[in-house]
Structures are given as structure tokens and as C-alpha cells.
Amino acid sequence: MIGIIGGSGVYEITSKADNVEKRIVNTDYGDVEVSILDIFEKTVAFIPRHASGHSIPPHKINFRANIDALKNVGVTQIIATNSVGSMNLEMPPGSFVIPDDFLDFSENRDKTFYENKVVHIDVTEPYCPTLKEILNESGDVILGGTYVCTQGPRFETPAEIKMFKMLGGDLVGMTGLPEVTLAREREICYNSICIVSNYASGISESELTIDEVFEMVEARQNDLLELIYNFIKNAQDKDCGCHHALDGAEV
């Protein structure tokens, strides 16, 4: 089953569904409302990351509950959407970027399911290569880029962006981590569509506003939905290294 964790701009995904069933899924970390959709004769589980009405700020998202809720309904592949600022002039506002690495600057988040057990998962390829290929066939995307996750909720300073760029960052956002690594700990394929909403602070001349972010997401919403629909059509349930992430990871 395919899982989708949608940020802004994806709430309309249900419009193409033949059937929508809302389920409350219990997890060890809390209950999560999951929409089970029938789209193109496939079953898709959808979670709006910020909950309904975009009410939960990035640093308060219950990432573990969201991932476990998808695991519990039988999801084996997750596509997430994240809106990001760009630090790379080759990834201009409006682009869809499929990242291939990350730098994690988020703080005080629950980053693992293994609090009391020694497990070291491999993240040489943190974003699933199988899903990357399917996304590449499904629309106009830029492949590769390093995602920098900040704690938020404020935007970054020009000096921070300068530092992230020096460290090799291309995109900056607040919601990508620890979602990607929690999915790997649960042996679920995971990849992200990063929607570039603006240039990051100091890359662009103007001040950043959240309106700018939502405006770009809205302008690209139809293309984003088409990319996701094509992904759903093209996706096949095949075996992947992500499904064996715990082999050799436990001490």
C-alpha cells in the first residue's frame, strides 16, 4: 500500500478518489486520523502532516505516530511533500526537487523508535532509490539535493543560510526530519517531493513571508497533484533494500 504524508497543497488529493474512508489508527505514540483512498484501483493511505486545518506547527508534529499509523494500515511505500526554501540557484522557486541526502539541525524531536534498544540503521542512501526512479518517470522533477532541516518555527537568518550553503545544503525546511529516518527504522520505502516556494534568506533580496510560501504552493498545486497521481499509477509494490533496513542493524 502507498502512503502519502502531505504538507500544504496536497489536501485536495481526495478529489480523484473513488472512495474515501476515514480511520482512527491507534499507535503507541497516539491516535492518528488516516484517510484510506481508492485511486486508480490502488489503495492509498493519506495523512495531512499538520493535521486538519494546518493546525500543528513543525516542531510539534507527532512524527512517530504518523509513521506507525501508516505502518499499521499496511503501507510499504511513502511519498512525502515538503515545502522548502532554496539555497541553490539551479533549484528556483516552483521546482520540484527529489532530495538524496540531508543535514539535520532540528532539536528536541523524538528521532527514533529505539529508545531502549541498540539499533543503528544505515542511511548511506537516506531517500529510497526505488521511489526516486518512479518519481522521475512521473513528472518534471530535479533529482538530487541536500535537504537541511531546521527546528523552526522561525525562518533562518542570512548567516545560517550562508553556513548551510558552505556545508553543502541546497534546500531548507522544517518538516523533513526525523520523518525520513523513522520510516527507514520501520523498513518502509520513503522519498520526498520538495516544493521550492522561495529562495532562502540572503539568497533573495526580499524578506520572507509565509504568504509567499502558500502562494507558490497554491500556484503549483495542480502540477504537484498530477505528479502524485502519476506516481500512484506508476508505483509497483516491489522489494527494496529499505524493507530490510534492520538486517544487521541490531546489536
| Separation CA 178–CA 78 (nearest Å) | 14
Of 68 and 187, nearer to Zn ion (C-beta) is: 187
CB of 240 to Zn ion, least distance (A): 3
CB of 127 to Zn ion, least distance (A): 9
| Separation CA 86–CA 99 (nearest Å) | 12
CB of 218 to Zn ion, least distance (A): 31
Instruction: Compute the C-alpha angle 53/23/7, nearest 5°.
Output: 35
What residues from 129 to 168 belong to the interface with Zn ion (CB under 5 A)? 130
Q: Which residues contact 211 (CB under 8 A, 6 or more apart)?
A: none
What residues from 225 to 244 belong to the interface with Zn ion (CB under 5 A)? 240, 242
CB of 154 to Zn ion, least distance (A): 33
Of 183 and 217, nearer to Zn ion (C-beta) is: 183
What residues from 171 to 210 belong to the interface with Zn ion (CB under 5 A)? 189
User: Across 2-67, where does the E strand assignment appear?
Assistant: 2-6, 19-27, 30-39, 42-48
Q: Would you say 65 and 22 are in contact if contact means Cβ atoms under 8 Å apart?
A: no
80 scored as a contact of Zn ion (CB under 5 A): no
What is the binding site for Zn ion (CB under 5 A)? Answer: 128, 130, 189, 240, 242
